[in-house]
Amino acid sequence: MLWSQNASPIRPQNLYLVVYISLMFGVLSSLPDLSDQSCTFKVTLRNFRVILSWELKNHSIVPDRYTLQYLVISIPDHMKTVEHCSNITASFCDLTDVWDVLSETYAVTVDGFRGNTTLVTCFIDFFLATHISLEPPEFDIVDFTDHINVNVNFPPVIPKILDGKVLQFYLPLIIEEQSGGIVKKYNPTLDENVTGNFTYVIDNLLPNTNYCISVYFKHRNLEEIHRSPVKCTLLPPAQDTGSSESAKIGGIITIFLIAAVFISTILILKRVGYICLRNDCPNVLNFHNMSSWVFPEMPPLEAVAFVEVIHTNRKKKVWNYNYDDESDSNDETAAPLTNTGGYTKHGLVGGLLGPTSASSATWEDCLEPYTEERDLSEPEADTEPLMALGPKPGGSECTSGAHEGRGKLLQDPFSEEDSSSTEESGDKIIFNVNLSSVFVSALDDDGSEGPPASPCFPEETYNLEDSHRLETSFLEAPGEGTQPSFPTPSAECPWPEDVLSDISDSSESGVDTGDGYIMR
């Protein structure tokens, strides 16, 4: 049975016991001897055997045999004779199997005979638990480098007087360790039925150190405590363990030295100035407000005006122009496109101006100059109706940025056309339009004053009535009679062709607009 050392060697109870024992020593020392007038008795627990021995006080009397009888005070029986203790020559008797209760008061009678004559009769009564002398158990030790195994030999059968947890509470086993004047006591917990070899391990011992071990039962009566002879051993030195421990200590010291050198180096460099640690970091490196850093604030919302866009699906009609003059068709600027419907599409403006206008201005930008233009185009448009539509200084993006494109892209075709036709026929531009077309150009001696600026009409920002009026205003624009009012697809904004288509459809009858055009 192997028991590990799991209890503190010095328990409070032991300390209390030491103090208490020192106070009681005077009382305990005065316990009466087990003797009467003729004999002195001694009851001993030796090798877990209960041995009662006696000695005659009068040595002149020498019996040749003894007979032992006993009785228990608490049991009113007759005196009992122990068979194996009758007529014995020895002055002791083994009562292990007879006395089975430690807490009894036994009354013993020993008769000494010589022949048939009773030479002596001794009587003693004693309380066994108090008067029994506990001799230490046999034990041996096995030493190791850092621990000792203490093997206590228990009998195969524990005597009855030690049953009932007596060994645990009343007669505890004590293992005493002595080394260098220091005494440690261990109190192993024994099972109720402990038998055979009981091994107790005393660990955490120092190698190459001398240890002495003794074992005994702790008795209530200190006079009856008998320590065993000590068994000493010198633990062998543990070279491996020592080297490993020294290596560990060296490693720890090395780590501390490295840490000290590192920290001192950092401090020196900082003190000298090689390391400049700033406490006030720029705001960029200020990470204290992590929440705002992780979740940046949203930019302030801009005022947004919602515009309702109404889509109007209309049937598109393509202005097809049929140029009779083939020479004109060769003109790059006029570049009429022959449509499958027999019309010639005048795509010289729309085809050239579309992308540029789309990139230079939006339709919202075009709205404002148009409204101004409309006002100008009514009464004052008599003289220069279309020139008022031209670029104005300080105008919007539509009239400035986009106008640049207009100035180039719009004027170029006309300028080239002017170079081809104007130079030949003066300021007049003659379109040969098929009758099926909407507008028919009438020769006007006034001639065009220049390439008109194409107005911008966002198709979604005015209603149909306005478009009629607008169209009417354009068509009724007197004077110049040039084709600036020619509703080509917008140069910078998508021209509402469908609106014009409707107008053209609505003027089937053909109305002379007075400016040289005939509106059908």
Partner 1 sequence: MTSRCILQTALLVYFSTTVLAVNYDLLRFQLSSSSVECQNLLLQLNGTTKDCIKDRMNFKFPEEIEKPQQVQKEALLLVTLDIFQKTSDIFRKNLSSTGWNEIIVNNLLEKIHWQIEHLEEILEKIKEEENFTWDDRTLLPLKRYYLRIVRYLKAKVYSICAWKIVRAEMLRSFFFLDKFTNYLPN
The residues binding partner 1 (CB under 8 A) are 12-13, 16-17, 20, 24, 27-28, 30-32, 36, 71, 73-76, 79, 102-105, 107, 123-125, 127, 129-130, 164-166, 168-170, 220-221
Q: Smallest gap, in angstroms, from Cβ of residue 177 to partner 1? A: 23
Least separation in angstroms between CB 129 and partner 1: 5
Pick 31 or 267: Cβ nearer partner 1: 31
- Give 20 or 262: the residue with its C-beta nearer to partner 1: 20
Residue whose tokens read 């010289």: 348
Q: Which is nearer to partner 1, 30 or 117 (by Cβ)?
A: 30
Minimum CB separation of residue 168 from partner 1 in Å reads: 8
Which residue in 248, 225, 461, 432 sits closest to 336, CA to CA?
432
Least gap, CB of 229 to partner 1 (angstroms): 28
Q: Which residues contact 270 (CB under 8 A, 6 or more apart)?
A: 276, 277
SS3 153: strand
**440: which residues sit within 8 A by CB, 6+ positions away?**
433, 517, 518
Identity of the residue, 26 or 180, whose beta carbon is nearer to partner 1 in the bound complex: 26
Q: How far is CA 279 from CA 179, 284, 288, in A?
A: 60, 14, 13
> CB-wise, 82 or 386, nearer to partner 1?
82
Supply the minimum distance, in Å, between the C-beta of residue 154 and partner 1.
21
Rounded to the nearest whole angstrom, what is the least distance from the CB of residue 11 to partner 1 in the complex? 8
Query: Which of 79, 247 has the CB closer to partner 1?
Result: 79
CB of 21 to partner 1, least distance (A): 9
Minimal distance in Å, beta carbon 31 to partner 1?
6
Nearest to partner 1 of 11, 248 (CB atom):
11
**Pairing of the two strands 182-186 and 173-179:** antiparallel
Write out the two tokens for 314.
């209309």
CB of 62 to partner 1, least distance (A): 24
Cβ proximity to partner 1: between 219 and 406 the closer is 219
Dist. CA 407–CA 438, nearest whole Å: 26
- Give the DSSP H/E element, type plus range, for residue 44: strand 39-46
- Return the number of the residue (163 or 397) whose C-beta is nearest partner 1: 163
What sign for the dihedral angle of Cα 460, 462, 468, 474?
A: negative
Closer by beta carbon to partner 1, 29 or else 241: 29
CB of 20 to partner 1, least distance (A): 5
CB of 10 to partner 1, least distance (A): 13
* Cα(333)–Cα(315) distance, integer angstroms: 28
**Other beta carbons less than 10 A from residue 86's beta carbon:** 14
Distance of alpha carbon 380 from alpha carbon 330, whole angstroms: 37
Q: Which is nearer to partner 1, 36 or 384 (CB)?
A: 36
**C-alpha closest to that of 456 among 385, 372, 331:** 372
Task: Specify the residue, 27 or 301, whose C-beta has the smaller distance to partner 1.
Answer: 27
- How far is Cα 122 from Cα 37, in angstroms, rounded to an integer? 8
Q: How many CA atoms lie within 13 A of 92 on its CB side?
A: 12
Question: What is the side-by-side strand order in the sheet with 80-81?
Answer: 80-81, 65-72, 105-114, 117-127
Minimum Å gap between C-beta 66 and partner 1 is: 18
Asked if 360 and 492 count as a contact pair (C-beta separation under 8 A), the reply is: yes
Question: Residues 32, 34, 40, CA angle at the centre, nearest 5°?
Answer: 130
Which residues sit opposite 3 in a β-bridge? 200
Beta carbons within 8 Å of 229's beta carbon, 6+ residues apart: 214
What's the closest the beta carbon of residue 56 comes to partner 1, in angstroms?
18
Ranges of beta strands (E only) in 264-408 are 337-338, 344-345
Q: What phi and psi, each to the nearest 5 degrees, are found at residue 466?
A: -65, -40
How far apart are alpha carbons 407 and 401 in whole angstroms?
Answer: 10
Q: Which is nearer to partner 1, 148 or 166 (CB)?
A: 166
Please measure the distance between the N-terminal and C-terminal CA atoms of the chain and give it in whole angstroms.
Answer: 127
